Chain A
Amino acid sequence: MEKVKEILNRYGNSKDNLIQVMLELQNMSGTNSLPHEWVVFVAEALDMPVSRVYSVITFYSMFGTEPRGRYLVEVCKSGPCHVSGAKNVLQLLEEKLGLKPGETTEDEVFTLIQSSCFGACDIAPAIKIGEKVYGNLTSEKLSEIVDSYREGQHNG
């Protein structure tokens, strides 16, 4: 909780910064999610009803309330990627990771999710892993990317 407090302090213990605080907490969690007890702690610290904080974190798609993999593998499903073969990309990833959208690998490394457009339409079909975007994907390229994460070539 010390770390949570530190982040809250950095944001001036202000309700206005709830979303910013939660984003940092999620980044720090290691589980790509917001642990229940942190959420309750933040609510109390900011003098907010837990129900309201819960309302905020369930509204925004980036927040997780259940633990997820270290890497979120996001497959864009919006129009531009759709017409550029996003379905194939999803299928390949499902096979490669052995996951359906929403699921996490047993080693807790990857969670596969389908996402709305993240602005990589010029290189569609695209995926996003953490903050990194990969486009113009082919089967080989996808395999290489996934493997590079498995082998721990990326931090965070």
Chain B
Amino acid sequence: MDKVLSARFGKIKPDSIEEYIQAGGYEGLKKTMSMEHLDAIEEIKKANLFGRGGAAYPTGIKWEQAYAIQRGPKYMVCNADEGEPGTFKDKHILSEDPFELIEGMTIGAYIMGAKEGYIYIRGEYAAIQKIVKSAIENAKKAGYLGKNILGREGFDFELKVVSGAGAYVCGENTALVESIEGKTGRPRQKPPYIKNCGLYQMPTILNNVETYSCIPWIIKDGGEKFSSMGTEFSGGTKLMCLSGNVNNRGVYEIPFGTTLRELIFNLGGGMKDGRKLKFVHLGGSSGSCFPESMIDTKICYYDLKKAGFSLGSGAVLVVDDTHCAVDYLKTVMEFFEEESCGKCTPCREGNHRLVEILDKMTEGTATMADFNKMKSLAQTMKTTSFCGLGQSAPMPLITLVKYFEEEFLEHINGKCRAGVCSMSGKAGK
């Protein structure tokens, strides 16, 4: 199989532009510069590329819309705030082949006429920021960034790395933009949307690391070829992050259409210590949890949607039967409780109260009323939260309750089948 994203991983010095070029780098940019802007966008549309950050918006259409906006200056922004638990694919791109991202953004800048770009990298990746900064420096020296790129008069593009400082919510587009502006990362009211009114209130093209990194290949080898690697509904390949109780954890580049079972049992080498697969948590903490019976679903935006799930960031956390669904859920909800920005009531207070109820469950003191309130609250959070964080935070709860309701009921009756929960309050119940 052709690798789109990981072909150079481990094979070149990450910040060496010479090695990148030798390995076929910057062909995409050069080709773009010989094309009409709209033809380049057309190529991306043909690629059937969907945003890899989690929202899965068709990139070609996003770029077409952004291109049509007359106002300027336009900014290119990359979301490298990879904070979704279980996700570490962007880290690999940033640290092993940062030029494919830089080239992707430069292609975008050429098409959009943007003069400035920002890569917002989470603060936890401080070591990786240095690699990316060094790569940018080297690209500049070689004439691939800065003024008159590749000798083309007026093709100027400055790229900067901006560091996050520890806030998951900054992965939300508007919060990210606020954070680049030096503010607290609390999301903005939409509309207006980022494409019209983003960074410094200007039109902004914002994509995930992986999305941008697909662009050079698409331009170089053609959208159709890219598309044909995947399924009818999802073009290309995807970096999947396999973690949890499997033998071979890591990042795998797979063509769309691969099943979760193939990923877990073939590439991932199956369950660790021969345990039984209890559930998969797909797409990060804000994704769905489902049992083994559903892992024959194809990794494809359409198939997953049909099954009621979302691919999210491409995180696949595999959990074996030594774990308790309620205890696991509590850990996940503690994450959201901690990471909620605090702006809207349902997310700020809701996650906190879900943890409170789950605490009671693990202690064996929860009642049916608590359980019902938890379910009702989860729905309210999903429908009324201000941004995607709060809207998706209850997803693991909703799906775990759907597939493992019995286990929740057992906890209300003071029993944890996995023997994980303390049930310390049971005696006093």
- Which chain A residues border B163 with CB–CB below 8 Å? 19-20, 23
B262 in contact (CB, < 8 A): no
Complex CA distance for A14 and B341, rounded to whole angstroms: 24
Complex CA distance for A131 and B85, rounded to whole angstroms: 18
Nearest-neighbour CB distance to chain B for A74, whole angstroms, equals 8
A78 in contact (CB, < 8 A): yes
B222 in contact (CB, < 8 A): no
Given A60-B166, A121-B85, A122-B243: A79 in contact with B125 (beta carbons within 8 A): no
- Which chain B residues border A20 with CB–CB below 8 Å? 162-163, 182
CB of A17 within 8 A of CB of B328, answer no
Which chain A residue has the least Cβ–Cβ distance from B126? A131
- The interface bits of chain A over 17-55 (1 if a CB of B lies within 8 angstroms of the residue's CB, else 0) are 111101100000000000000000000000000000001
CB of B124 within 8 A of CB of A128, answer yes
CB of A79 within 8 A of CB of B179, answer no
- Which chain B residues border A22 with CB–CB below 8 Å? 165
Given A78-B85, A131-B127, A132-B127: A116 in contact with B335 (beta carbons within 8 A): yes
Given A19-B163, A61-B167, A78-B285: A118 in contact with B124 (beta carbons within 8 A): yes
B66 in contact (CB, < 8 A): no
- Which chain B residues border A18 with CB–CB below 8 Å? 182-183
CB of A79 within 8 A of CB of B162, answer no
Stretch at the interface among A1-9, A80-88, A104-112, A146-154: A80-88
Which chain B residue has the least Cβ–Cβ distance from A128? B124
CB of B165 within 8 A of CB of A62, answer yes
Complex CA distance for A56 and B341, rounded to whole angstroms: 11
A142 in contact (CB, < 8 A): no
- Which chain B residues border A82 with CB–CB below 8 Å? 328, 331
Complex CA distance for A18 and B165, rounded to whole angstroms: 11
Which chain A residue has the least Cβ–Cβ distance from B181? A16
A117 in contact (CB, < 8 A): yes
A100 in contact (CB, < 8 A): no
Complex CA distance for A124 and B87, rounded to whole angstroms: 12
- The interface bits of chain B over 297-316 (1 if a CB of A lies within 8 angstroms of the residue's CB, else 0) are 00000000000000000010
CB of A59 within 8 A of CB of B83, answer no
Listed residue (A17, A122, A128) with the most chain B CB atoms within 10 angstroms of its CB: A122
Which of A17, A55, A63, A83 is in CB contact (< 8 Å) with B319?
A83
Complex CA distance for A14 and B183, rounded to whole angstroms: 12
CB of B181 within 8 A of CB of A122, answer no
- Which chain B residues border A68 with CB–CB below 8 Å? none
Complex CA distance for A84 and B244, rounded to whole angstroms: 6
> In the complex, how many residues of chain A place their beta carbon closer than 8 angstroms to a beta carbon of chain B?
36
Stretch at the interface among B51-59, B141-149, B211-219, B245-253: B245-253
- Which chain B residues border A92 with CB–CB below 8 Å? none
A70 in contact (CB, < 8 A): no
- Which chain A residues border B179 with CB–CB below 8 Å? 19
- Which chain A residues border B85 with CB–CB below 8 Å? 78-80, 116-117, 121
- Which chain A residues border B4 with CB–CB below 8 Å? none
Complex CA distance for A71 and B370, rounded to whole angstroms: 41
B168 in contact (CB, < 8 A): yes
Which of B249, B285, B334 is in CB contact (< 8 Å) with A123?
B249
Nearest-neighbour CB distance to chain A for B407, whole angstroms, equals 16
- Which chain B residues border A84 with CB–CB below 8 Å? 243-245
Which of A15, A80, A116 is in CB contact (< 8 Å) with B182?
A15
B226 in contact (CB, < 8 A): no
- Which chain B residues border A97 with CB–CB below 8 Å? none
Complex CA distance for A21 and B302, rounded to whole angstroms: 44
- The interface bits of chain B over 102-129 (1 if a CB of A lies within 8 angstroms of the residue's CB, else 0) are 0000000000000000000001111100
Nearest-neighbour CB distance to chain A for B408, whole angstroms, equals 18
Listed residue (B162, B165, B241) with the most chain A CB atoms within 10 angstroms of its CB: B165
B339 in contact (CB, < 8 A): yes
B180 in contact (CB, < 8 A): yes
- Which chain B residues border A121 with CB–CB below 8 Å? 85-88, 241, 243-244, 249, 315, 317
CB of A79 within 8 A of CB of B245, answer no
B133 in contact (CB, < 8 A): no
- The interface bits of chain B over 312-336 (1 if a CB of A lies within 8 angstroms of the residue's CB, else 0) are 0001010110010000100110110
Give me the interface of B with A, judged by CB distance under 8 Å. Answer: 82-88, 91, 123-127, 162-168, 179-186, 241-245, 249-251, 281, 285, 315, 317, 319-320, 323, 328, 331-332, 334-335, 338-339, 341
- 8 extra interface residue pairs, beta carbon distance < 8 Å, beyond A56-B183, A79-B331: A19-B182, A20-B163, A59-B167, A61-B167, A80-B85, A82-B328, A84-B245, A117-B87
